[in-house]
Amino acid sequence: MEKQRAYEWGEGVFTLLSWFKKDKVKNARVLVAGAGALGNEVVKNLALFGVGHIFVVDFDQIEISNLTRSVLFREEDAYNHSYKADVVAKRAMEINPQIKVTPIVGNLFSEVGFGLYRSVDVVIGCLDSRIARYQLNRLCMRAGKTWIDGSIENLTGVARVYAPGVSCYECGLSREEFNQIMLRTGCADVMRSQSSAGRVATTPISSSIIGAIQVQEAMKVIHVDEKTQFQTLEGKMLHYDGMSNTTNIFRFASWKKNCPAHERWEPVINAPQLSTTMSVKDVLAGLKCLLKVKSVEINMCNNKFVDKITSDRPEKVYEVMLPESKLDAFISSDAELRKLSYRTLFHKSFFENIDEYFPYQELSLQQIGIPPFDVVHVSTEQGEFYVELDGDVQQYL
């Protein structure tokens, strides 16, 4: 049988577009946060465009209810309780075998290395909660990256583009919305096991339209250095109403002085000799050598290390020894703790800063909650530093 002739994806199709630059798209890197209905449409369209490397972040498993509006999911995926990120990555590469799609099953805030956010061209948010958007916005502002938000419900949908110096999600929150987020993310030493978010009624049409708009905006960001003058949604909101067949664009820029979300993590020091597989003890020693300082302290601002929790009624101590991001799953997996979680508060004993006095020096950075290819915020007697753990770079790149 004659061997099939090699071909270049999009050749003779996209290359006919006056603005399309094949090499830019082929070398582009896009992070997609969320692999539900919107995430399916976004990743599908990025794959069709031939975007070189797509990263898909989601910690949820597929349910039967997802099938009505998620083009990349199949019935067997739901029966197998497959992770959304894994399936989306697999199916996208079936659509276009010439791209790379890397699934990350985890929390975008605490289990994705900040080095990855710094390395991509644009971030696309396909999220279903204010808390997740709040967290993604902070990460993108720290990295100086534009992110494209999408949301859908019933026959309506919204697409917004947030860019450093122009528009910030946190700046646009009402006082009530901000207080609700603080209520859920605050109280560092007290927690209840969080319940999962309820389902939102929507249609495959809404997700298809908004997902397409998000990818169209992403392509404009990827081509930002070209002479073509695109009209973008930067600092704006596109509102689609399928009930009345109307689409409107509103000015939606909000950039307030002294907003804590505007913190930029720079400059970043590259450390190819440091990895999250190393022990706390060895990393602390390596940081001292790298920064030429006498004392170092790693701030666990995204994911505190919890060694114990104590229940109110009855008063009892439970050993945890896990990052805070895994605490809900730990409680849910234990019959006694799961039963208690409905009627008591849990008080956490945790470490927010890691230094030479941290009692678990032999644990690895991954074990205490620092993800691969992360940037650690380090305090020393000579000031603050941001250090990228480049020993993990191959895991993502």
Query: Structural domain of residue 322, as residue ranges?
Result: 268-396
My answer on whether 257 and 127 are in the same domain is yes
- Find the farthest-apart pair of alpha carbons in the chain and give their distance in angstroms, rounded: 73
My answer on whether 169 and 287 are in the same domain is no
5 occurs within a structural domain: no
253 occurs within a structural domain: yes
The answer on pLDDT for 374 being more than 50 is yes
6 occurs within a structural domain: no
Q: What is the pLDDT of residues 85-139, one digit of tens each?
A: 999 999 999 999 999 999 999 999 999 999 999 999 999 999 998 999 999 999 9
The answer on pLDDT for 365 being more than 90 is yes
The answer on pLDDT for 5 being more than 70 is no
Q: Look up residue 94 and give its two tokens.
A: 């079936």
My answer on whether 181 and 71 are in the same domain is yes
pLDDT of residue 229: 79
User: Among 216, 240, 262, where does a domain finish?
Assistant: 262
98 occurs within a structural domain: yes
Residue 237 has phi, psi (to 5 degrees) of: -130, 125
User: Among 262, 284, 315, where does a domain finish?
Assistant: 262
My answer on whether 100 and 39 are in the same domain is yes
288/266 Cα distance (integer angstroms): 19
Strands (DSSP E) contained in 79-166 are 100-104, 122-125, 147-153, 156-162
My answer on whether 106 and 255 are in the same domain is yes
Q: What percent of the chain shows pLDDT beyond 90?
A: 80
Q: What is the pLDDT of residues 44-88, one digit of tens each?
A: 999 999 999 999 999 999 999 999 999 999 999 999 999 999 999
Mean per-residue pLDDT, 180-187:
64
314 occurs within a structural domain: yes
284 occurs within a structural domain: yes
Q: Look up residue 338 and give its two tokens.
A: 């799961």
My answer on whether 50 and 195 are in the same domain is yes
Name which of 12-16, 207-211, 237-241 the model is least confident about: 12-16
My answer on whether 386 and 308 are in the same domain is yes
My answer on whether 296 and 162 are in the same domain is no
214 occurs within a structural domain: yes
The answer to whether 305 touches 324, Cβ cutoff 8 Å, is yes
CB atoms within 10 A of CB 128: 19
Looking from the CA of 135 toward its CB, the CA atoms found within 13 Å total 23
The answer to whether 355 touches 325, Cβ cutoff 8 Å, is no
Looking from the CA of 75 toward its CB, the CA atoms found within 13 Å total 0
Q: H-helix or E-strand containing 56?
A: strand 53-57
pLDDT of residue 104: 96
26/44 Cα distance (integer angstroms): 15
Model confidence at 147, pLDDT cuts 50, 70, 90, reads: very high
58 occurs within a structural domain: yes
Identify which has the larger pLDDT, 368 or 177: 368
Residue 332 has phi, psi (to 5 degrees) of: -65, -30
Is the pTM higher than 0.95? The answer reads no
174/181 Cα distance (integer angstroms): 11
Q: What percent of the chain shows pLDDT beyond 70?
A: 94
Looking from the CA of 4 toward its CB, the CA atoms found within 13 Å total 3
My answer on whether 159 and 295 are in the same domain is no
The mean pLDDT value of the chain amounts to 92
Identify which has the larger pLDDT, 13 or 178: 13
My answer on whether 240 and 280 are in the same domain is no
Looking from the CA of 61 toward its CB, the CA atoms found within 13 Å total 8
Mean per-residue pLDDT, 270-297:
98
User: Among 262, 279, 310, where does a domain finish?
Assistant: 262
My answer on whether 202 and 94 are in the same domain is yes
Model confidence at 2, pLDDT cuts 50, 70, 90, reads: very low
My answer on whether 144 and 168 are in the same domain is yes
Q: Report the number of distinct structural domains present in the chain.
A: 2
- Residue 224 belongs to domain with CATH number: 3.40.50.720
Residue 106 is classified by DSSP as S
Q: H-helix or E-strand containing 169?
A: none
pLDDT of residue 1: 46
